Amino acid sequence: MPYIESNGDRDVLDDIVYKYITTLKKKGCLNYFLCRLFMSQGISYEKARNFIGEMECAKIELYRRWVAPYEDQKKEENGDVRGF
């Protein structure tokens, strides 16, 4: 998880999220937003590598912190898929 200190950057980013949360929930809007954010930086291999790396790390962190525990909870409630 990107642990950003509460030095103002976090507040700015939270304001952006809360302002656009309803729009970004619509199908395709988050994808569009991320593509525009990437393209606004200009395209180079280094920028693409860094941007994709950031998204990959975010994906892994979301899975580790929220999806995996949810799946574990559901496995306990409903039983393992393999029946074990």
pLDDT in tens, 33-79: 999 999 998 999 999 999 999 999 999 999 999 999 999 999 999 99
For 5, the domain range is 1-40
The residue-averaged pLDDT of 80-84 equals 73
Number of domains the chain is built from: 2
Give the ranges where 2-67 is alpha helix by DSSP (H).
9-24, 29-39, 45-62
Residues 47, 33 share a domain: no
Residue 44 has a pLDDT of 95
Please name which of 62, 49, 51, 52 lies closest in space to residue 1, comparing C-alpha atoms. 62
Q: Looking at the predicted structure, is the pLDDT value of residue 25 above 80?
A: yes
Residues 34, 3 share a domain: yes
Q: Looking at the predicted structure, is the pLDDT value of residue 1 above 90?
A: no
Residues 14, 46 share a domain: no
pTM: 0.75
